[in-house]
């Protein structure tokens, strides 16, 4: 028994030592001299060994706990300071994350980028905020894409057969086409006319005359031909002539437009019945009918058998004199509830002082100059904004309007007037002032990257006098001639290759005009109507020598502005390799056929967005880049050109020129006039049903 315990103890010690001082469960040592076989004795030895091991472990644990307690007691001060600092650091870090998420993102970006230290801009606080684009996207690409889609649908949806054209006509206008429609269709097919269904404007012009009988229309056509500056284009026996039944009134423009209309009918006049076309010798609109006379026909004389003076209430005076003006006549075309019919609203001046908010944020934003119109201002409603009429010269024309529904054929139509549109003789003829000798092969823009305009000081009359400074051409020239330090906010892509990152900077308008504008008057017309006379006119506007029309196209941008009426140069601008930027309040015969932002760039009547139009297509100017502290300012002009903008500008130039070659031809003008003649012949007839087309 004793010898066995000793042996067991020895075995435990041996196992403990062999394990590096760690107690292990007892394992019996088997050898040839001794072997334990009694189970009870073996169990007792194991219990004894376990008990000894537990005592050893307890002793070691006590020593370790004593050591830790002593360490904590000796260093309690340091531990307390550490915990206080740790808590403050956690609270500050959490607060910083909550208040400065951009800084947090900057830190994360630095962690992700191993080379962030080599880029100084990333070290600066809030660098990402400074680089944020001022707009989510530039509006011009979307305007172009939407316009291109609309034009593709319009062009692709034109009728391909006579049967389809008749069906489309019936769908649009709820009646049969006019007699001779099949011959017109053959004409259109022979000369490859693209727009065979788009005549909504023509039908709108003729709509009021469906209220009159054929006899009444014939009588009124003869009567209005007696008035000054109205000529008659007369068709008799398949031949056309131009006559002036009022030879006592001298007008330098007499017969020019009527002769142009006669020329446009040359190919088909032999197919037309007898009829007359009273043609306006002036560019301005002539017919303004009060709203009450249109809404309640019984208020006005409907039977013209008593003659023109009875219809007008007395002799017709060709100019206003002191007894009225166009605006007073025009505003009566509005509804009685409209602001234009309220005396105070209609006379309120559009001039006002802009009040600046000195407490507003100093952050630069695109502002009101960064607004681009979808189309021209021809639909602008002056009935609702009567004060805006001061900015348009046609409201101050010297020529008296006609207050009765007389048929007058004019080259353009502003809102509120009831003239019937015909193509301008300037577009159809070969006048050097209005026609390019253009190269049909060359489709490349020239490199003079400026906005160009030359013209006379026309734009309106002087009834009432004193408002010439606000006419459309004068306003544009003063803006383009401004050499002051007043700033314009310019928004541009930075870098130029970017299509999504834009910055804005205020730039002195005087510097901008030097860099991108080349606009000037070349002739002073009726200078005495300008307040201060010729001296004030020359002081407020830039004057320069005239430039032949064929040399205009050396410039990338050509401004097209209304004069006394429409601009007769628009077709020639389209024929060039330049891009027309057109601002107008007029609709013309081709309005249904052309698409803004596809064939030309539309401009609002305020013109203020023109600097940002240039910045998008041509890139920022040197002064703009310097004002924005852009690193791009160090690049050459070619390197800082807007890549996407330049491509889009060339696309508009090509599309406009292609339109002139395929849809704005003299043949297309003839097709329009042919269709107009068929419609007018039906209105001219007593039996209009007999003038319907049928298969």
For 301, the token pair is 């004389």
C-alpha neighbours within 13 Å on the C-beta side of residue 471: 31
Q: Say if 29 falls within a structural domain.
A: no
Domain end residue (candidates: 137, 167, 191): 191
Contact 679, 178 (CB under 8 A): yes
Q: Say if 6 falls within a structural domain.
A: no
- Are residues 563 and 448 located together in one domain of the fold? yes
- Are residues 171 and 315 located together in one domain of the fold? no
What's the predicted TM-score (pTM) here? 0.79
- Are residues 388 and 408 located together in one domain of the fold? yes
- Are residues 511 and 473 located together in one domain of the fold? yes
Number of domains the chain contains: 3
Contact 503, 615 (CB under 8 A): no
Q: Say if 30 falls within a structural domain.
A: no
Q: What is the pLDDT of residue 660?
A: 97
For 299, the token pair is 């208020």
- Are residues 508 and 406 located together in one domain of the fold? no
- Are residues 440 and 419 located together in one domain of the fold? no
- Chain Cα centroid distance, residue 602: 7
- Are residues 402 and 456 located together in one domain of the fold? no
Q: Cα angle vertex 655, ends 649, 657, to 5°? A: 105
Burial class (CB in 10 A: 0-12, 13-18, 19+), 672: buried
C-alpha neighbours within 13 Å on the C-beta side of residue 405: 24
Q: Say if 67 falls within a structural domain.
A: no
Q: What is the pLDDT of residue 297?
A: 82
Q: Say if 578 falls within a structural domain.
A: yes
Strand extents, DSSP E, 342-471: 409-410, 413-414, 420-421, 448-456
Residues with Cβ within 8 Å of 573's Cβ and at least 6 positions away in sequence, in order, are: 552, 558, 560, 580, 600, 656
Q: What is the pLDDT of residue 423?
A: 97
What does pLDDT average to in each consecutive run of 10 residues of the chain (695 residues)?
Answer: 42 41 41 44 43 48 57 66 64 47 37 37 42 88 98 98 98 98 98 98 98 97 95 97 79 81 97 98 95 88 93 93 93 95 58 45 75 95 94 95 97 97 91 57 65 94 93 96 95 88 94 97 92 94 90 92 94 94 98 98 97 96 93 85 91 97 98 98 97 95
Domain end residue (candidates: 191, 215, 249): 191
- Are residues 471 and 595 located together in one domain of the fold? yes
- The CA distance from 650 to 662, in Å, is 18
User: Measuring CA to CA, how many Å separate 483 from each of 298, 299, 533, 558?
Assistant: 57, 55, 22, 21
Contact 245, 226 (CB under 8 A): yes
Contact 645, 668 (CB under 8 A): no
Strand extents, DSSP E, 509-622: 517-523, 555-561, 579-583, 586-587, 601-602
Contact 656, 574 (CB under 8 A): yes
The three-class DSSP label of residue 602 is strand
Which stretch of DSSP H or E encloses residue 98?
Answer: helix 76-99
CA-based nearest residue to 125, from 104, 140, 148: 104
- Are residues 574 and 525 located together in one domain of the fold? yes
- Are residues 389 and 440 located together in one domain of the fold? no
Burial class (CB in 10 A: 0-12, 13-18, 19+), 349: exposed
Q: What is the pLDDT of residue 10?
A: 41
- The CA distance from 221 to 203, in Å, is 18
C-alpha neighbours within 13 Å on the C-beta side of residue 667: 15
Number of helical H runs and strand E runs in the chain:
25, 14
Q: Say if 653 falls within a structural domain.
A: yes
Residues with Cβ within 8 Å of 672's Cβ and at least 6 positions away in sequence, in order, are: 199, 202, 423, 589, 590
Print the domain residue range for 524: 433-665
Which stretch of DSSP H or E encloses residue 270?
Answer: none
Contact 501, 494 (CB under 8 A): yes
Q: Say if 448 falls within a structural domain.
A: yes
Q: What's 533's domain CATH number?
A: 3.40.50
Contact 541, 531 (CB under 8 A): no
- Are residues 414 and 311 located together in one domain of the fold? yes
Burial class (CB in 10 A: 0-12, 13-18, 19+), 543: middle
Contact 443, 577 (CB under 8 A): yes
Q: Say if 540 falls within a structural domain.
A: yes
- Chain Cα centroid distance, residue 373: 4
604: left (phi over 0), alpha (psi -120 to 50) or beta: beta
- Are residues 448 and 310 located together in one domain of the fold? no
Residues with Cβ within 8 Å of 442's Cβ and at least 6 positions away in sequence, in order, are: 577
């Amino acid at each position: 028994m004793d010898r066995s315990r000793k042996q067991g103890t020895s075995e435990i010690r041996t196992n403990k030592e062999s394990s590096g001082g760690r107690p292990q469960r007892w394992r019996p040592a088997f050898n040839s001299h001794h072997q334990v076989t009694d189970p009870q004795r073996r169990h007792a030895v194991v219990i004894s060994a376990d008990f000894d091991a537990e005592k050893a472990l307890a002793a070691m644990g006590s020593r370790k706990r004593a050591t830790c307690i002593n360490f904590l007691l000796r260093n309690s001060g340091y531990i307390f300071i550490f915990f206080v600092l740790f808590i403050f650091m956690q609270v500050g870090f959490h607060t910083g994350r909550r208040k400065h998420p951009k800084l947090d993102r900057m830190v994360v970006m630095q962690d992700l980028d191993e080379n962030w230290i080599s880029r100084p801009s990333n070290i600066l606080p809030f660098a990402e905020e400074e680089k944020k684009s001022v707009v989510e996207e530039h509006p011009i690409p979307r305007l172009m894409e939407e316009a291109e889609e609309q034009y593709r649908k319009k062009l692709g949806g034109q009728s391909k057969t006579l049967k389809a054209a008749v069906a489309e006509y019936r769908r649009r206008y709820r009646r049969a086409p006019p007699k001779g429609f099949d011959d017109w269709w053959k004409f259109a097919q022979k000369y490859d006319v693209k727009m065979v269904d788009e005549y909504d404007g023509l039908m709108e012009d003729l709509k009021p005359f469906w209220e009159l009988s054929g006899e009444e229309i014939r009588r009124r056509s003869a009567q209005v031909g007696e008035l000054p500056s109205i000529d008659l284009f007369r068709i008799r026996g398949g031949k056309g002539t131009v006559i002036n039944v009022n030879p006592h009134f001298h007008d330098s423009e007499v017969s020019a437009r009527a002769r142009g209309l006669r020329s446009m009918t040359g190919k088909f006049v032999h197919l037309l019945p007898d009829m007359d076309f009273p043609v306006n010798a002036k560019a301005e609109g002539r017919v303004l009918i009060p709203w009450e006379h249109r809404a309640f026909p019984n208020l006005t004389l409907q039977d013209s058998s008593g003659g023109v003076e009875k219809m007008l209430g007395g002799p017709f005076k060709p100019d206003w004199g002191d007894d009225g003006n166009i605006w007073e006549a025009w505003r009566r075309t509005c509804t009685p509830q409209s602001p234009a019919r309220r005396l105070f609203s209609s006379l309120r001046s559009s001039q006002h002082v802009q009040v600046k908010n000195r407490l507003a944020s100093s952050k630069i934003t695109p502002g009101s100059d960064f607004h681009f119109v979808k189309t021209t201002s021809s639909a602008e409603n002056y009935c609702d904004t009567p004060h805006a009429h001061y900015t348009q010269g046609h409201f101050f024309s010297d020529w008296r309007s006609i207050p009765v529904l007389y048929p007058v054929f004019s080259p353009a139509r502003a809102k509120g007037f009831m003239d019937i549109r015909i193509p301008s003789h300037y577009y159809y003829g070969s006048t050097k002032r209005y026609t390019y000798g253009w190269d049909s092969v060359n489709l490349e823009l020239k490199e003079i990257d400026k906005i160009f305009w030359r013209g006379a000081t026309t734009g309106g009359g002087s009834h009432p006098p004193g408002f010439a400074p606000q006419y459309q051409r004068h306003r544009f020239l003063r803006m383009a001639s401004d050499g002051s330090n007043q700033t314009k906010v310019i928004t541009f892509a930075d870098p130029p290759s970017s299509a999504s990152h834009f910055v804005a900077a205020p730039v002195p308008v005087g510097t901008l005009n030097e860099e991108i504008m080349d606009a000037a008057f070349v002739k002073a017309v009726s200078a005495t109507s300008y307040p201060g006379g010729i001296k004030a006119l020359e002081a407020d506007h830039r004057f320069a020598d005239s430039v032949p029309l064929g040399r205009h196209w050396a410039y990338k941008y050509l401004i097209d502005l209304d004069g006394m009426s429409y601009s007769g140069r628009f077709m020639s601008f389209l024929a060039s390799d330049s891009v027309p930027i057109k601002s107008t309040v007029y609709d013309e015969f081709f309005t249904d056929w052309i698409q803004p932002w596809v064939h030309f760039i539309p401009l609002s009547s305020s013109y203020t967005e023109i600097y940002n139009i240039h910045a998008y297509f041509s890139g920022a100017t040197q002064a703009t880049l310097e004002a924005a502290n852009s690193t791009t300012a160090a690049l050459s002009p070619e390197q800082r050109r807007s890549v996407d903008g330049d491509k889009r500008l060339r696309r508009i130039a090509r599309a406009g020129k292609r339109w002139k070659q395929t849809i704005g031809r003299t043949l297309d003008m003839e097709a329009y006039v042919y269709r107009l003649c068929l419609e007018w012949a039906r209105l001219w007839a007593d039996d209009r049903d007999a003038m319907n087309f049928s298969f």
